[in-house]
Structure 1
Amino acid sequence: MNPLNLPFDSEDMLTGLRPWIECESPTWDAAAVSRMMALAARDLTNAGAAVETIPGTGGFGNSIRASFPHPDRGKPGILVSGHLDTVHPVGTLEKLPFRREDGLCYGPGIQDMKGGNYVCLEAMRQILKAGLQTPLPVTFLFTPDEEAGTPSTRQLIEDEARNMRAVLVPEPAKEDGGAVIGRYAIARFDLLTRGRPSHAGWALKEGRSAIAAMARKILEIEAMTTEDCTFSVGVIHAGQWVNCVSSECRAEVLSMAKTQEDLDRGVAAMEALQAEENGVSFEVARGVTRPVWSPDHPGTLELYEIAKKISAEIGFDLSAGSAGGGSDGNFTGAMGVPTLDSIGVRGKGLHTLNEHIEIDSLTERARLAAGLLMTIT
């Protein structure tokens, strides 16, 4: 039986996906993410997999590893690598409920990347239900901390991927439905200004505001952005009392670099900002980094050619190239393991209150996943 003819049904997939979307799982809420993992573990088990729960570390939720039955189980095979954490805090469902409208379906995390993860699970479920056997053993690994840069599970992902023939990452498809075969580096930095406290009304001149100093540095940092290396400050924490000159201010920077050379220059530029001026010190600490994944690995290109042929048979052209917006594919691709990223659902608005998917893409992407799982050798 041609795997592309398996009886995928968008309505059935939406019904199965809805509990995943309504199980909110923000990265920093370990208990919530672990509840989502338990829900996914149930569905994986029902699909026929043997599921192992891996306890979380570093304050993050659990991970799960699911192995599907195969005569060569334990040998190099295919890894489906995805994350089940989202950027949306608990309570987002009140503003962004699961709902359908004009061929679209909305909900927190539905595009990034619960929809893609669920589609791959459905592909495997239908393969087994039809009595088919994938050429290679298939393992799913779902992790809890991708939106924070994967600080606690990078080693787990790399260890799992090291001996695999291929890694499939069902992150959201590109705008044109294309896949990703390389990614730019993503570096994070933690910033700290230390000032001098004083009473803001009684002795303002005696103080040195850490907030004001940080504000000036933020403008300086974001002005360093170029086409090849960007800098964006997305988090600021400071102050407890409006009548106190702030003594500390913390911020976080995300930098994207297209090449290793761009990354090295960006890191050097950030570290060079450390200084003390007018009684306020400015400190820069480098955080987690996703390495550059170059789009020229022969194994990845071969994997893309397989996917391109499958998508043509389904009825669409699958483009591919490098992209920003790091993923766990950065790690496996940089290791040299053949990796195909962004084969998940089509949609828009990820990380916003307009996050949605195209309902029809559920069937399209399930067929693509099934074709890949049944073709890669």
Structure 2
Amino acid sequence: MALNGAETKACEAAASAPMLDQVQTWAAVNSGSRNLAGLRTMAGLLADAFSALPGALELVPPDPVNVVDADGSVRAIEHGDHLLLTVRPEAPVQLLFTGHYDTVFGADHSFQTLRWLEDSRLNGPGTADMKGGLALMLAALKAVETTPAAAQLGYQVLIDSDEEVGSPSSAALIARSARGKAAAFTYEPALPDGTLAGARAGSGNFSLVVSGRSAHAGRNPEDGRNAVLAAADLALRLEKAIGPRLSINPAKIDGGGPNNVVPDRAILRINFRPATPEDEARARAHLDSAVAMVAAEREVNIHVHGGFGRPPKPLDPAAERLFGLVRDCGADLGLDVAWKATGGVCDGNNIAAQGVPVVDTMGARGGAIHSAEEFLIPESLPERAKLSTLAILRLAERGRP
């Protein structure tokens, strides 16, 4: 269908927003997930920018999070505040827009500066993932606010500080914000050709702390209980659960010491990627079984720390309808919108777990994310801002996907 006058005007307004300037300003700020000073600076810049929208804006403190250190001890770890904007909560149509402002590049990482590549792509930390997405999200919402349809539309904008480390301090806030929404858009980058992520696997991260018994490796090794061997045994047993819909990656074993001492402490770090909720349940059952068997057979204690922070995100009928709406909007703008399944995870997994349809790659086109070759395709900023604007307006009109 052709765009009507209000849609055309709003799309043009979104496309003309100073998105590239914003991206360059924001990407110049190091906001690595553990760089609290940089996160504070970035949160302030975003609060200033998003205050151009109506509604109540707040910086929500992170939930407490614990991590297991290499010696098996548990300690608290800090995260940045999360930006939450609530607009017209009593409006008949309620949507959710999410993103993150942390990057994988810490304050001590060598990748800190922006440069233009020969093919006019912008190389820089977070340009695609996802400061470009935040800029075009803001442009689209500001354009929507100029239309009569805005009166029918309420929404929340949630931009968290910890997505790149699994959103441990924002997961509960994401869940609360998603409940009751008709649909959601998350602004992770699309692939360079514009392809979106469709179904996503889930993700679970665990630290399995093994406590054995030390002994002299030559004089009385039989009195010891080797924690490193137990951790390795666990990894091999868990590997047996790998299948076409469940990947398991034993990533690291911490522990051990001098060669003449039977090690009494080890920590196995492991990641699960289940394709469906049923696969997640199978993975958890297999983990519990392996832990019980190794603990009994090797006479060690094993503490399981962690969990499935990203539920699987299959494409259900509501999600398929939302993808269809975005595809149709793209067609009306002259864009070919397609999607495919991926093993990657993001906050969209957590939104879908609340029964809310979500398209989670509504951001800019770009690539090589999580590397020093990360790049943004600048012409995708106005292109994708128009796509979001049109999709939001049509959701406001229809009330649901």
Residues in 1 aligned to 2:359 and 2:211: alpha-carbon distance in whole angstroms: 44
- Report the Cα offset of residue 41 of structure 1: 0.6
CA contact under 8 A between 1:108 and 1:353: conserved in structure 2?
Answer: yes
Query: Sequence identity, in percent?
Result: 28
Residue 158 (structure 1) aligns with: 175
Please state if 1:293 is matched with 2:299.
no
Residue 105 (structure 2) aligns with: 88
Please state if 1:186 is matched with 2:203.
yes
Residue 365 (structure 1) aligns with: 384
Please state if 1:320 is matched with 2:339.
yes
Letter in 1 for 2:45: L
Residue 15 (structure 2) aligns with: 8
Residues in 1 aligned to 2:362 and 2:260: alpha-carbon distance in whole angstroms: 52
Judge which range, 164-173 or 235-244, deviates more. 235-244
Query: How many residues in Structure 1 have an aligned counterpart in Structure 2?
Result: 370
- Report the Cα offset of residue 267 of structure 1: 1.5
Letter in 2 for 1:185: G
Relative to 1, partners in 2 of residues 1:95 and 1:321: Cα closer, same or farther, differing over 3 Å? Answer: closer
Please state if 1:42 is matched with 2:62.
no
Deviations 1:56-90 (A, max 9, x none): 2213221111245x6x7655422111122233222
Residue 17 (structure 1) aligns with: 23
Judge which range, 223-232 or 171-180, deviates more. 171-180
Residue 304 (structure 2) aligns with: 284
Deviations 1:191-247 (A, max 9, x none): 1222444688x9795866544543454455446432210112345544687887643
Residues in 2 aligned to 1:110 and 1:302: alpha-carbon distance in whole angstroms: 30
Q: Alignment partner of 1:305: what SS?
A: helix
Residue 136 (structure 2) aligns with: 119
Relative to 1, partners in 2 of residues 1:97 and 1:163: Cα closer, same or farther, differing over 3 Å? Answer: same
Q: Alignment partner of 1:254: what SS?
A: strand
Deviations 1:28-62 (A, max 9, x none): 44444333222211111145564211122213221
Relative to 1, partners in 2 of residues 1:215 and 1:106: Cα closer, same or farther, differing over 3 Å? Answer: farther
Judge which range, 34-43 or 315-324, deviates more. 315-324
Relative to 1, partners in 2 of residues 1:315 and 1:267: Cα closer, same or farther, differing over 3 Å? Answer: same
Judge which range, 80-89 or 23-32, deviates more. 23-32
Q: Alignment partner of 2:122: what SS?
A: strand
- Report the Cα offset of residue 189 of structure 1: 1.8
1:125-204 alignment runs, 5 A limit: 125-128=142-145, 134=150, 135-174=152-191, 176-197=193-214
1:192-341 alignment runs, 5 A limit: 192-197=209-214, 210-211=227-228, 213-215=230-232, 217-222=234-239, 224-234=241-251, 236-238=253-255, 246-274=263-291, 275-276=294-295, 277-278=297-298, 280-298=300-318, 300-341=319-360
Residue 399 (structure 2) aligns with: none
State the superposition RMSD in angstroms: 3.1
Please state if 1:98 is matched with 2:114.
yes
Residue 355 (structure 1) aligns with: 374
Judge which range, 72-81 or 184-193, deviates more. 72-81
Relative to 1, partners in 2 of residues 1:53 and 1:96: Cα closer, same or farther, differing over 3 Å? Answer: closer
Deviations 1:109-165 (A, max 9, x none): 33332221221112223445x666535134311122223333332222222222222
Judge which range, 37-46 or 98-107, deviates more. 98-107
Deviations 1:171-202 (A, max 9, x none): 121464223443322222221222444688x9
Residue 70 (structure 2) aligns with: none
Residue 71 (structure 2) aligns with: none
Relative to 1, partners in 2 of residues 1:57 and 1:16: Cα closer, same or farther, differing over 3 Å? Answer: same
Residues in 1 aligned to 2:130 and 2:39: alpha-carbon distance in whole angstroms: 13
Relative to 1, partners in 2 of residues 1:331 and 1:123: Cα closer, same or farther, differing over 3 Å? Answer: same
Q: Structure 2 stretches of 5 or more lacking a match?
A: 1-5, 65-77, 397-401
- Report the Cα offset of residue 167 of structure 1: 0.8
Residues in 2 aligned to 1:241 and 1:112: alpha-carbon distance in whole angstroms: 43
